[in-house]
Every structure is written in structure tokens, then in C-alpha cells.
Amino acid sequence: MNYLIEPHGGRLINRVLPEKEAARIIKGNYRRIKVSQDFILDLEKIAIGAYSPLKGFMNKKDFTSVVKHMRLANGLAWTIPIYLPLAPGIARGLRRRERLVICSEDGQEIGLLSVEEVFSFNRDTWAKNVFGTQDRAHPGVKKIYASHEAFVSGETWLLQKSDFKFERFNLTPEQTRKIIAQRKWNTVAGFQTRNVPHRAHEYLQKIALTICDGILIHPIIGWKKDGDFRPEAIIESYRMLIDKYFPRDSVIFAGLATAMRYAGPREAVFHAIIRKNYGCTHFIVGRDHAGVGEFYSKYDAHRIFGNFPDLGIKPLLLREPYFCRKCQEIVSDKICPHHEKWHTHISGTFVRGCVRKNKDLPEYVMRKEVSRILRKSGLSGLI
């Protein structure tokens, strides 16, 4: 019998209002507030159950517990705050239980929020605990110090999807779970990336496929820092790779429309929770998952999972792959006996650097078809 893993917290949240009710609210006399796309995408992820068990933006009790203890106030594992900042003039005028229509920056009515509380939180504590640093050179830290200081919490509902360019790849947990059930997979590995595919990632994905019935390749297609790959490049190159180099019906490809936080180990756990909600039983964790620069140590993202024996999804703590010129293939230190002088390390940072300098990448680093996609007119690949 086909087994589907329970969503985080035991139930897949659905906060999408029926069309007639949504239309009535859109026509109603509610205060409207505009927020940036990052928070619009978070609202959508709450509504479709990607952030189960959350039903809205966190209150101060949950926010504080997540920052300090990596758990919601009820004890459930959760590592990244999900919050909604508002300009001081708006925040001061809010009343408890007031209903707000949340709009995109172009004025499209996206969601409804029932105000629970307005609060603030010490940014130094937030930065240090979640990102491990207060250095504004860290892109996640820079964003929180630049945001408004007042946050509004409360349950949210989705009125309509935003005009998102890559919506057809933006599958819901309900959709991926349906595909998993149709294919009768009992085990599914989730793979997170913000990069175009290189051979080291392909190596990890195929290790996971030897263990599991299928794999969900699920790249971030929301906000990323300057210098990362654009969604178009990631989508086109992965669709080619899956079509040509993976067994038929062994892969679900979808985009995860949310922002990168660059929170390293904490974000690795957050990404695992999201993929659990999408139906994954296993989650691939790399050497420097969601890392940036030199802010995190090698395999910090592996070690943090020791704090979460109750997570409910099995982390695949895979060693860093590299090309060994002696072995003449992609390997890891678990299977390669040769000195590091024979190793060529392959990473997103290395690939982005080569693309930025317009340097050719050898095929043991990146398949020629991917390199060709990156060279295409209009797809230099990088933001």
C-alpha cells in the first residue's frame, strides 16, 4: 500500500478561500496594505500548506521561541521566523481582530489577515541566533536590519495567487502528494538548490535515487542575492537534465516560490520541513546547505539535525562530492582514497565564478547542454 508521510504538525493546512468568498472580500470595505513580494510569497506558502502547521504570520510568542529555541511555542520543530513587517504609521493604527487586505506592490489583492498583535523584536538577538552573525555583509542579516521594526501577527487566507512569472512550476504540496500517490512511491527524496545543475549535484541526486523510489527536485525561484542564478536558467537547465539523464517518471520537478534566507544550518532544517509538507520522506543535506561566504563551517548543516530527532523526515547527510583526477569520476571522501592534490572541488560558488568570468567549464563540472543554456542570448544565468 502506498504510504504518504504526514505533514509537519499532522495536517496539511489549506487557507485558500473559495472564489465567491474571496470576491466578496475584495469588493469589501477593508483597509488595504501593500507588502513586498517576499511576504506575498510567504502568505501563499502558508495558505497552500507549504509552511504547515502555520496558519498565519507568527505572533511574538512563536517568533521568540523560534529565534531562541528553534521550535514553535508548542514545542514543534521550526527554525526560521515567518513574519510580516509594517511601516510604523500603519502598525500604530491597527486594532486587534481588524481585518486587512494584503496587496502586492502593484495593488493586486492577494490575502486577508486578521490582526492578532503588533510587536517588535531585538534585531541583534534575531541576527545572532538565526544567522550566527550580526555582520551586515551577510545578505539575510542585511535584510532584517533594513526592514521595518513593527511586525503584525495573525491568521491569513489567500484571496488569489499573485501574478508570478513562474506560476506553472509553483506546485502545491497537495499536487506533489497526488503525483507521489499516483506513482506509488513510498520513499521520496527532496533536493533543494538555488543553482543550475552541476555534476556534483547530479551525483547527490542519483545517490538519493538509489535509496528512494523518487526525487523531488525543488529549486528556489523567489528572491536571491545579486550574483545567484536567475530562475529562467535554473528551470530550463533542470528540465533538460531530467529529460535526458534521469529515468522516466523518477523525478518531480517544481519550483519553490519563496525567498532564500542564507541562514545556513537553520535554513537546512526549514527546507527539510517544507519538503516534508510536499510529501518527501528524505531530504538531501549538502556540505554548506543555504550557506553564503564564510559565515558557516563545513558540515554545520549536517550537525544541526542532531537537535531534531522528532523532525519526521530523514536527512540524507551526504559528503561533499568532487572530481578526482585519479578516479576519473565524481566521488566523495567516503569512496576515494586519493590525496586532495588530485581533487577538483565543484560547488555553486565555483560555477558562478566561472560563469561570471565567462570561463568554459569542463564537462566533468557541468554537462555541455547546461553550459549551452547559460550561453544562450538573454540567459547569462546570473542575477
Determine the pLDDT at residue 120. 95
Cα–Cα distance between 55 and 41 in angstroms, integer?
A: 14
| 19-158 and 167-375 have identical folds | no
| pLDDT, tens digit, 9 for 90 and up, residues 99-139 | 999 999 999 999 999 999 999 999 999 999 999 999 999 99
Beta-carbon contacts of 50 under 8 Å, excluding residues fewer than 6 positions away, are 172, 173, 256, 258, 274, 277, 278
3-state DSSP: the chain helix, strand, coil percent, rounded to 5? Answer: 35, 15, 45
For residue 256, what pLDDT band results from cuts at 50, 70 and 90? Answer: very high
What's the pLDDT score for residue 186? 96
Contact yes or no for 314/186 (Cβ under 8 A)? no
Residue-level pLDDT at 121: 96
Secondary structure (H, E, C), 78-90:
CCCCCCCEECHHH
C-alpha cell at 355: 560563469
pLDDT of residue 377: 46
Side-chain half-sphere exposure of 100, counting CA atoms within 13 A: 27
Question: Rounded to 10 degrees, what is the CA torsion of 278, 219, 369, 379?
Answer: 140
**Residue whose C-alpha cell reads 499573485 in the numeric block:** 162
Q: Are 358 and 380 in contact (CB under 8 A)?
A: no
Element (H, E) at 154: strand 150-158
- pLDDT (average), residues 221-242: 86
pLDDT digit string, tens, across residues 152-204: 999 999 999 987 778 888 899 999 999 999 999 999 999 999 889 999 999 99
pLDDT greater at residue 176 or residue 89: 176
Do residues 233 and 193 make contact, with C-beta atoms less than 8 angstroms apart?
no
- At position 3, the amino acid (one-letter code) is Y
How crowded is residue 293: how many other Cβ atoms within 10 Å of its Cβ? 13
Catalytic residues: 194-195
What secondary structure letter does DSSP report for 343? E
Which contiguous run of DSSP H or E holds residue 374? helix 368-375
19-158 adopts what CATH topology?
Answer: Sulfate adenylyltransferase (3.10.400)
- In tens, the pLDDT along 295-309 reads 999 999 999 999 999
Contact call for residues 132 and 32 (beta carbons, < 8 A): no
| Confidence at 254, pLDDT banded by 50, 70, 90 | very high
Contact 266, 303 (CB under 8 A): no
Mean pLDDT lowest among 73-87, 206-220, 267-281, 342-356: 342-356
Cis bond upstream, residue 53 (ω within 30): yes
Cell numbers given for 198? 552541476
Q: For residue range 324-375, what is the model confidence (pLDDT) as tens digits? A: 999 999 999 999 999 999 999 988 778 888 887 877 788 999 999 998 888 7
Q: How far is Cα 160 from Cα 221, in angstroms, rounded to an integer? A: 19
CB proximity list for 235: less than 8 A, separation 6 or greater: 166, 169, 219, 221, 255
**Is residue 1 over pLDDT 80?**
no
Report domain 167-375's class. Answer: alpha beta
Confidence band (pLDDT; 50, 70, 90) for 226?
confident
Q: Which three cell numbers stand for residue 137?
A: 555583509
In single-letter form, the type of residue at position 86 comes to L
- Mean pLDDT over all residues of the chain? 93
- Structure confidence at residue 380 as a pLDDT band (50, 70, 90): low
Predicted confidence at residue 381, as pLDDT, reads: 63
Whether 69 shows a pLDDT value over 90: the answer reads yes
Q: What is the mean pLDDT of residues 226-230?
A: 80
Q: Which residue has the higher pLDDT, 242 or 223?
A: 242
For the chain, the domains span 19-158, 167-375
The stretch 224-247 carries a mean pLDDT of: 89
Give the rounded percent of residues in the chain with a pLDDT score beyond 90.
80
